[in-house]
Structure 1
Amino acid sequence: MADILSQNEVDTLLKALAAGDLSAEEVKVEETKKVKPYDFTRPSKFSKEQIRTIEMVHESFARGVSNYFSARLRSFVDITKASTDQITYNEFIRSISSPSFLFVFTAEELNGNVVIEINLKVIFAIIDKLLGGGGGLYQKIRPLTEIENSLMRNEIVRILSILKDSWSSIYSFTPNLVSIENNPQFVQVVPANEMVVVVTLDMKIGEIEGFMNVCWPSSLLEVIAPKLYAESYFKQEKQIKPGQLREDIISLLNNAKLDLHVVIGKTMINLSDLLNLEVGDVIMLQRHVDEPASLYVNGREKFLCSVGTHKGFNAVRITEVLNKEIDENGG
């Protein structure tokens, strides 16, 4: 489109026309049509509004996975949407390094399989945290062992459950894990030239950063396409019930690990006595034999208990609850 003339320019043209110095034909500006290049090898299957709806679903998914892993790993976990691209499946597979961590899932309600890829450095950080480590950077990138795959399988089930909840306002489905792979070349769920929508999520676990890629084949999304509109998403989005947020937080905290230890008694001795201790020496504690022992939860005395055995193991029986005023407030 031609540039918009200023008022002074319009007045000048009118004066020139009135004076006969300029003809009307000379004033006409021929508009040139702008041609937008179209790549037939990479056709856009979905509109901007549909892509935006997919992004909103995955933003909800990212928040859910962040909350889950934060509680599960007892560490700072931040997952955000990085980008959304429409590319061919071959381009997606070629962009993944080998080895990597990929898993494929499907559902009876979906027309095909979906691939999710997570960087191995993120996977190793998760496994290290699950096994009690610090979750530091793993220097050697290698395929996962059977034991490591088994550990991650449990986490995948939870991830798929969160993805199901994120999609529930648009399209309900029940995901089922198909396979776990380390080589992207072994994951051929659609033809190489089929268009896919790849949603990339940025993952941060402590100081470790990586990506999660969710690959949706266009043939699968075409079934859901009529519902991929923002008004449909907000119209069917579940309203948070009163107290629901508190219940969700409690549900996540219920999986947190707590350290328990029992103290049957305490005493004090001087250093010289400690250095002279030998096998067979008796140390008298400052607690009578028929007095209850103390059960500590994460370093805080919470219960009194009696000590005994159960099925061949040392065990304790709770006899009294301490700090009741804290327990009543959720402490």
Structure 2
Amino acid sequence: MDQVLSQQEIDKLLKAMNNGEIDQEEIEEQTNNTPKIKPYDFRRPSKLSKEYVNTLHMIFEDFSKMGTNVLSNLLRVNATLHLASIEQISFDEFIHSIPRITLIGLFHSKLVEKDSPMKGIQMVEMNPQLCTKLVELLCGGSENQVKEDQNNEAEVDEKKFTDIELAILKGVLEEVGQTFQNSWKDIVKIKTFLDSVDVNPQLLQSMSPNEPVILTTFSLDIGEFKTFLNICIPYVFYEGISDKLSFRNWFDSSQKLSEDDERALQRGLDNVLINMEVRLGNAKMEVSDLLHLEVGDVVKLNCKTVDPLPTYVNGMPYYYAKPGKKDGNLAIELLDKLEGDTENE
């Protein structure tokens, strides 16, 4: 646990790097010269395979893209969310890595297909600095004000949230929960609900200290303000859908759509506009003849007046048709199915 930085330590490091107090090139050089050895605790083996972790990376990359749009629209400023890391730790390690006073949204999810609750409580953690910026922007503050308030981090660390601030932040958490729900749509359809909001993680009793959790950390940039957002989910949540996390299952083309999906797809296709065209024919001529064409000249095409005309839908062969008139407009009567490409006939 000595190697896990607290949120305050992370914010101070970011601030020092932005101010030039830390030489990034020197750090990169030291990192490159350091042997890449990762300790392994046999008493607490990794629960997720590499394949499952790769799938989670794809899911949470989608979450970060959706979250970027949601936060930018909500805050009316440029907000960018990036996936920083996914790691397995214990619940106790997670609690000790976040500020003593911080905002935590507690969620539960259920499977839509089975209408059954999923195991485990999902947590979204937003540190006091982030919460302060969110409240300022949602209450009409400007991006410049957010930049000016970055120097007051010490005061924010011991912040106590008011009822009004909690009500505002609850709305943000609900948007995050909706984004989390949508990011899973390609894997499994779930519904996510916000149960409660807590500000003291030390008092949380939803899991045992040694419970294995998957901590997903996102870097969040709001203008020039930089911070992190954490999503902590117990392993039992993923255990119930482990078969869905396989690449083979995700990209299995043999999976059939449900009846509801087929009806929704059909409704969407019914209103799609397509382009149908009728080709009268074509002609070939020398460049010299083309250059001497004038108004009134007649160009002979390669088809006779009694020949059916080929029709195309979005450039693909469709039917042979007979030209005519209807209600004062040119019209066609479909004859035989057209197969192959008749463009060069």
TM-score scaled by structure 1? 0.58
Of 196, 214, 225, the match for 1:197? 214
Match status 1:177 vs 2:207: no
1:265-304 deviation per Cα after TM superposition (whole angstroms, max 9, x unaligned): xxxxxxxxxxxxxxxxxxxxxxxxxxxxxxxxxxxxxxxx
Match status 1:65 vs 2:73: no
Task: Confirm or deny: 8 A CA contact 2:243 2:249 kept in the other structure.
Answer: no
1:150-176 deviation per Cα after TM superposition (whole angstroms, max 9, x unaligned): 011112112111111101211222111
Per the alignment, residue 20 of structure 2 pairs with: none
User: C-alpha separation between the residues in 2 aligned to 1:133 and 1:207?
Assistant: 15
User: C-alpha separation between the residues in 2 aligned to 1:37 and 1:81?
Assistant: 23
Per the alignment, residue 130 of structure 1 pairs with: 138
Per the alignment, residue 211 of structure 1 pairs with: 228
1:67–1:37: structure 2 CA closer, same or farther, 3 Å change rule? closer
Q: Which amino acid aligns with 1:149?
A: L
Task: Confirm or deny: 8 A CA contact 1:203 1:209 kept in the other structure.
Answer: yes
Per-residue deviation, 1:40 = 3.0
Per-residue deviation, 1:234 = 4.5
Per-residue deviation, 1:235 = 5.1
1:38–1:177: structure 2 CA closer, same or farther, 3 Å change rule? same
Q: Which stretches in structure 1 are left out of the alignment for 5+ residues?
A: 1-35, 245-331
1:126–1:235: structure 2 CA closer, same or farther, 3 Å change rule? farther
Q: Which amino acid aligns with 2:135?
A: I
Per-residue deviation, 1:230 = 2.9
Per the alignment, residue 171 of structure 2 pairs with: 154
Q: Which amino acid aligns with 1:42?
A: R
Counting only pairs closer than 5 Å after superposition, residues 1-331 of structure 1 correspond to structure 2 as 38-108=40-110, 109-135=117-143, 136=146, 137=149, 139=152, 140-141=155-156, 142-234=159-251
Q: Which stretches in structure 2 are left out of the alignment for 5+ residues?
A: 1-37, 111-116, 258-264, 269-345
Per-residue deviation, 1:194 = 1.4
Task: Confirm or deny: 8 A CA contact 1:202 1:212 kept in the other structure.
Answer: yes
SS at match of 1:39: coil
User: C-alpha separation between the residues in 1 aligned to 2:191 and 2:39?
Assistant: 40
TM-score scaled by structure 2? 0.56
Over aligned residues, Cα RMSD in angstroms?
2.4
Task: Confirm or deny: 8 A CA contact 2:213 2:233 kept in the other structure.
Answer: yes
Per-residue deviation, 1:178 = 1.4
Compare CA radii of gyration and give the structure with the larger one.
Answer: 1
Per the alignment, residue 332 of structure 2 pairs with: none
User: C-alpha separation between the residues in 2 aligned to 1:37 and 1:129?
Assistant: 42
SS at match of 1:144: coil
User: C-alpha separation between the residues in 2 aligned to 1:231 and 1:73?
Assistant: 39
Task: Confirm or deny: 8 A CA contact 1:121 1:208 kept in the other structure.
Answer: no
**Equivalences, count:** 206
Q: Which amino acid aligns with 1:146?
A: D
User: C-alpha separation between the residues in 2 aligned to 1:217 and 1:169?
Assistant: 21
Per-residue deviation, 1:41 = 3.1
Q: Which amino acid aligns with 2:203?
A: F
Task: Confirm or deny: 8 A CA contact 1:50 1:228 kept in the other structure.
Answer: yes
Per-residue deviation, 1:37 = 7.3
Q: Which amino acid aligns with 1:166?
A: S
SS at match of 2:240: helix
